[in-house]
Amino acid sequence: MRSQIQLLSDLHLEVGKQYTTFTFPASAPLLLLAGDIGRLTDYDTYRSFLASQVARYRKVFLLLGNHEFYGLSYESGLETAQHLAEEPSLTDRLVLLHRARWDDPDSDLTILGCTLWPAIPEESCAIVEAKVNDFKMIDGWGQVAEATRSDPERRILIATHHAPCVEGISRPEHVNNPWAPAFATDLVAQGGWGGVEAWVFGHTQFSSRLSRKGVKLVSNQRGYVFPGNMVRKRQYIKAKGEHDFDASLTISL
């Protein structure tokens, strides 16, 4: 039996404090929130948003993006996230995907998740720190090396906040920017992902659906939307373009 999973990322609910006002339709039993949903320092309202979702889905999966850590050290951010996952209003329905594996008891689906902090080449460190605010606002960032082996008996979905490839995941005008290594690590190109059906990611501010080395790559990113901004009202309806945010987007595995 195949599983339906709804995918959203980069909601940036911290912008204008939209934790209790942003709504979207439920289109699958499982919801995957692929990072940059908001900031963990907005603890109570972030929890309220998640509580609203676990009431509507069989399971909600939460990845930690870089914005979750804003205003916190890496260690305190992880502690806060773990405390959030243990909240009575969220337990049993919320799965924190921090270097974690979840096996669906009702199907052959396996979800593997981590943030996938990018590996920054030494020659790019200075300009990345100058151009990308995340590396000024997060105390103690670094590369997270997450290696997974294929399970031939299960259908595997990998979920990371940062992108697992470089080509095709950013706006064309940003492809050659020297701070591009802050947004992606070229893992898929290395091969060895047999058994992985799909890889979900966010962070690049550019929704995309493509295939690399036999792996379906999907991102569905809302981006920065200010309350009352009618220019981007289309986010609330089903989008048509592959680079548009679609609040109802699902994948089947």
Nearest to 66 by CA among 171, 191, 201: 201
pLDDT at 67 over 50: yes
pLDDT at 125 over 70: no
pLDDT, averaged across the chain:
80
- Residue 76's pLDDT is 95
The model's pLDDT over 201-241, given as tens digits with 9 standing for 90+, comes to 998 888 888 887 788 999 999 999 988 764 454 444 454 57
- Residue 172's pLDDT is 53
CA 4: distance to chain centroid? 17
Question: What integer is the mean pLDDT of 9-20?
Answer: 97
DSSP 100-138: EEEE-TTSSEEEEEE-------GGGHHHHHHH-THHHHS
Q: In the CATH scheme, what is the code of domain 4-252? A: 3.60.21
Is the separation of the CB atoms in 71 and 39 below 8 Å?
A: yes
Q: Spell out the domain ranges in the chain.
A: 4-252
> Which residue blocks in 154-202 are alpha helix, DSSP H?
none
pLDDT at 123 over 70: no
Nearest to 115 by CA among 136, 142, 90: 142
pLDDT band at residue 91, thresholds of 50, 70 and 90?
Answer: confident
Between 193 and 15, the more confident residue is 15
3-state secondary structure of 156: strand
Is the separation of the CB atoms in 114 and 99 below 8 Å?
A: yes
Measured distance CA(106)–CA(24) in Å, rounded: 26
The model's pLDDT over 28-45, given as tens digits with 9 standing for 90+, comes to 999 999 999 999 999 999
Measured distance CA(28)–CA(46) in Å, rounded: 22
